[in-house]
Amino acid sequence: MRKIIAVMGMSAIMAVSAGAADYVLKFSYVVSQNTPKGKAAQFFEKRLEELSAGRIDVQLYPNSQLYTDKAVLKALRLDSVQMACPSFSKFGKIVPQLALFDLPFLFRDIEHLHRVQDGPVGKRLKKMVTAKGFVALNFWDNAFKQMTDSKRPLVSPEDFKGLKFRIMGSKVLEAQFKAVGAIPQVMPFSEVYSALQQGVIDGEENTNSNIYTKKFYEVQRYMTLSNHGYLGYLVVMSKRFWKSLPDDLKAAVKQALDEATEKERKWAIELDKSQFAKIKEYADKSGKLKITTLTPAQREKLKSVMESIYPKFYDPKLIGKELIEGARNTK
């Protein structure tokens, strides 16, 4: 286990080196250490060990070393792991209202998104998750999503007609693509590259980092910068572990995580920009990928069609009108 001791007091160093921590916090996640999530987890580790003076020993398990995102929620309930950061889709059957973040064109920009997450709407969603046997702490970013496809530039709703689009398992995303006449197909992320390459599907939606790291741009002809949707994560903790902490250590966890969240969001934006630059460089040099930025008028037209799905999710058992309108009206 990695220990960063430069920022720790001597008492904390002695406590940790002697194995005298009062609590062990295992943090499981599926990505590597050089991602925004991985870097934020490392920051959280050293900051919490500093704030707790070594009373909490944070152990990081990246790259699904302990659990996949699919299995980690059960492990949290059993307190086999104390902390995780799954994508919203993993909570689909537990708290379907988190599909709020799948709604197309709901967020005006990243600042609006963060105000929603940190405000009454986000607090209500976290309360719903906590009621299901977890402790929901903070939201972390991946980024906004863009579109890629192999047939034609996607600049109007009509351009989507008949195209087969890969989606995550989400009724919102299914409705989103049906609204523009596309054919949504649920498919595991690991199969997307080969499906695009073989023409099984025509297109996909993803963040720049996913498009770049999985090289989807190599097997697509067109990319549309739409910022129409969002991918993110929810940091959750074992309720049993949380209840075992005294108030001062709960405060330390919250402070360390708030600081880590601020950095994670900054790193996510930086990664999104830097990896889009690499995609653009490939497009400019190869001539094999055409990148289109929607004009305000084009974006508004696509938005108006995709927004028509919102009433389908006004049922509180799905998302709820109050949550949707609360997000839209967040200043």
pLDDT value of residue 12: 40
Q: What is the pLDDT of residues 174-232, one digit of tens each?
A: 999 999 999 999 998 889 999 999 999 999 999 999 999 999 999 999 999 999 999 99
The string over 196-234, giving b where at least 16 C-beta atoms fall within 10 Å of a residue's C-beta and e elsewhere, is beeeebbbbbbbbbbbbebebbebbbbbbebbbbbbbbb
Fold assignment, 10-94+109-141+232-271: D-Maltodextrin-Binding Protein; domain 2 (3.40.190)
Domain limits of the chain? Answer: 10-94+109-141+232-271, 146-229+287-328
Residue ranges, the chain, pLDDT below 50? 1-18
pLDDT value of residue 169: 87
pLDDT value of residue 19: 57
pLDDT value of residue 326: 98
pLDDT value of residue 4: 38
DSSP labels for 41-72?
A: HHHHHHHHHHHTTTSEEEEEE-TTSS--HHHH
Distances from the Cα of 48 to the Cα of 19, 249, 293, angstroms:
16, 9, 42
Topology alike, domains 10-94+109-141+232-271 and 146-229+287-328: yes
pLDDT value of residue 6: 37
CATH numeric code, 146-229+287-328: 3.40.190.170
pLDDT value of residue 70: 82
